[in-house]
Structure 1
């Protein structure tokens, strides 16, 4: 994975240079002008619902435009990055991408996606149809944006109320150390304090990012990487110790993805399921935790502290979700905007929430949902306390480097310990890779 990360860094810079020279625009999308190509992340949690949504969406699109939709997918952050790179290099590919918000800076840096002006916003129903908070990572500034919000996914904890009550816990932990202690108190008799997925391709870096932010470390400060630091080391140490030293995570979790950790919580075998979103709601229906769980904010006080330091950041979550971006190398931008307008309407957004549990970015839909479901308050609060990742074209590679530290540590976790020396060396390597990517990005003029 480290090798692929380095390759990705070099290609992003090459793509940026190509786009600046105008070389990325070749033959448009290079396919049927009456077929819109849309790429989204594969949905392993709700595959049947996703297939039905795609069929219904395509049918409605056909009725209103006469055009078809060709659906394409990526299944990992690396595939997401590679798909963007390949399309920009060739000038061919999907007309619309639904990308994770943290990948929007990388897409912006290529110069290959439509910048949203007044005309473009009007074409998707107006900029004011979107919740202002959801636009926080659509571009480097309010006047330079490419991301059109599709879904909002603030991260929170799901909590098993019964297991907390049995342990005498009456208040939700607000510090990472308190979470660890509460997890210890709820571990035993076949239960674990936390459900964690160490092998997930998306989750691990978010824990590290959050703890570091709470300590005042933003991972990227301007053009300087801040990975080989005490705050980041403390974050990884806390995260690794849960399964090794503290014993509050099932050792099987070392090889799990998020869906497997979710399943453990849904089976009533874990007290806390950190780093989840509203997407879990449908999965909890008719399970052992149905009616016995609630959501709570993730801690915002860093490891080793009882209160947030003066420079600490009250980041309850990354500014998370999906943005649509429209390729400017194609000739189907009118169709692309009609597709985005259709899927971000109030009714479409409420249906998207019903199927997948993802919060609407449509302001009217979000307001209606909040009024109807007061149990969503902690998640809505998390959305208000969300902070964006650094807006730099280098971020996608930096994100992969953070995950790579965990990937390299999996064998050590299985053996029972990640030593300080091992962690230090991996952070030094990640720091070097991240700084190199930032330097190349800077020299590319972006």
Structure 2
């Protein structure tokens, strides 16, 4: 409800003293999202590129890497107060919600021309940059999808010949892989955004939706109840997830997988984080996320949301020209290859996407999912409320499962109904 109130306030006005940049046109402030194994690692990765930008333009970029757990609320607070950075990274699922605040620069055709033109961007990535029929208020920088990562040695020791393709197979494999000091699957039960992403995908497979075509919330449908229950039941019913994962919120699931504490992981472009934790690429396999084994009528062949990161510019920037130069730099062919290769994500501009650097097995799977079986989250202004509310409910349910409480359809429906009433 707090996020809803902030969003509502931001949609009324976004005024103030402006960005925290210098007025001389030689300084920008940039909030970067956490893409790598840690906030410190991201700053180490980004700083040489920012130094390169300064050499080319004379503009210094002061970067702060913001954890995902804080980023949305900080963006909304900046939109409301009119005070904050010049340029920001945003999760592409928030595009329409943040667009509705009116606090961000519109990338109309003329503005897109200043950063290289609309035709440079991968269409699917640009489609997740704002509400349909309106000029986007961001441009894509990193493209992602979910994949299933599995430990090859653990699979071989358990006699599992290939990665699961259905959730029933995953649960069965997870039980074989769960033993003292080892679990079948790692999740981040205390990460609302991660929870909401899986809730969306499972709902699609059950034939559900979180909003109708008019943008009205439809949280408490039988399909959504089943979707939430299936995900939480990996811990509550199948018991293939460590109850301690209910408290995980920031890359701990990746760490468990990298360090042999879990045999499977559902994640977006985990390769760079696994490498940082000394897990060699040949130690794990990457496969598409499983599907529902017996999909009901209306069930969709969707196994990921269209994931990715966008760049946006606040309207209150005192250095609009510099901010657009920075966006153009970060979406240039050279930077797109460099940064996405480092993070294991996919470029959002066409020329870079064709680079051989993205022909590795992990990137091939991510691209296959993104291009064939991923669907965008609803581009409606209330989407951020969905992530906060439904993601928070799943966090509560994982906590209940960890303490041994039964996870019932009735309990899930009651929570979803209450959340639905809070959507503004």
> Fold-level match, TM-score > 0.5?
yes
Structure 2 residue corresponding to 1:155, chosen from 117, 125, 146: 146
Are the equivalent residues in 2 in contact too, given 1:268–1:288 (CA < 8 A)? no
Structure 2 residue corresponding to 1:55, chosen from 47, 53, 63: 47
Aligned to 2:225: 233
Q: Give the Cα–Cα distance (whole angstroms) in 1 for the partners of residues 65 and 277 of structure 2.
A: 29
Partner of 2:282, secondary structure, is coil
Query: Any gaps of 5 or more consecutive residues in structure 2?
Result: none
Q: Give the Cα–Cα distance (whole angstroms) in 1 for the partners of residues 411 and 119 of structure 2.
A: 49
The question of 1:87 aligning with 2:78 is answered: yes
Equivalences for 1:79-228 in 2 at 5 Å?
Answer: 79-141=70-132, 144-188=135-179, 190-221=181-212, 222-228=214-220
Are the equivalent residues in 2 in contact too, given 1:173–1:182 (CA < 8 A)? yes
Aligned to 2:355: 368
Which segment is superposed worse, 219-228 or 24-33?
24-33
Q: Give the Cα–Cα distance (whole angstroms) in 1 for the partners of residues 133 and 55 of structure 2.
A: 34
Residue by residue over 1:63-118, the C-alpha shift from the partner in whole angstroms, topping out at 9 and shown as x without a partner, is 222221122343234x3233233323333321111100111111111122122122
Aligned to 1:427: 416
Are the equivalent residues in 1 in contact too, given 2:130–2:136 (CA < 8 A)? yes
What TM-score, normalized to structure 1? 0.87
Aligned to 2:57: 65
Aligned to 1:400: 388
Are the equivalent residues in 2 in contact too, given 1:37–1:94 (CA < 8 A)? yes
The question of 1:318 aligning with 2:318 is answered: no
What TM-score, normalized to structure 2? 0.91
Q: Give the Cα–Cα distance (whole angstroms) in 2 for the partners of residues 159 and 246 of structure 1.
A: 18
Query: Any gaps of 5 or more consecutive residues in structure 1?
Result: 1-5, 19-23, 438-446
Are the equivalent residues in 1 in contact too, given 2:97–2:384 (CA < 8 A)? yes
Provide the aligned length of Structure 1 versus Structure 2. Answer: 419
Q: Cα 1:368–1:44, aligned 2, differ >3 Å: closer, same or farther?
A: closer
How far did residue 29 of structure 1 move?
2.9
The question of 1:351 aligning with 2:351 is answered: no
Which segment is superposed worse, 39-48 or 222-231?
39-48
Q: Give the Cα–Cα distance (whole angstroms) in 2 for the partners of residues 267 and 286 of structure 1.
A: 8
Q: Give the Cα–Cα distance (whole angstroms) in 2 for the partners of residues 410 and 309 of structure 1.
A: 26
Q: Cα 1:249–1:27, aligned 2, differ >3 Å: closer, same or farther?
A: closer
Measured on the aligned residues, the alpha-carbon RMSD in Å equals 2.3
Structure 2 residue corresponding to 1:7, chosen from 2, 5, 8: 2
How far did residue 371 of structure 1 move?
6.0
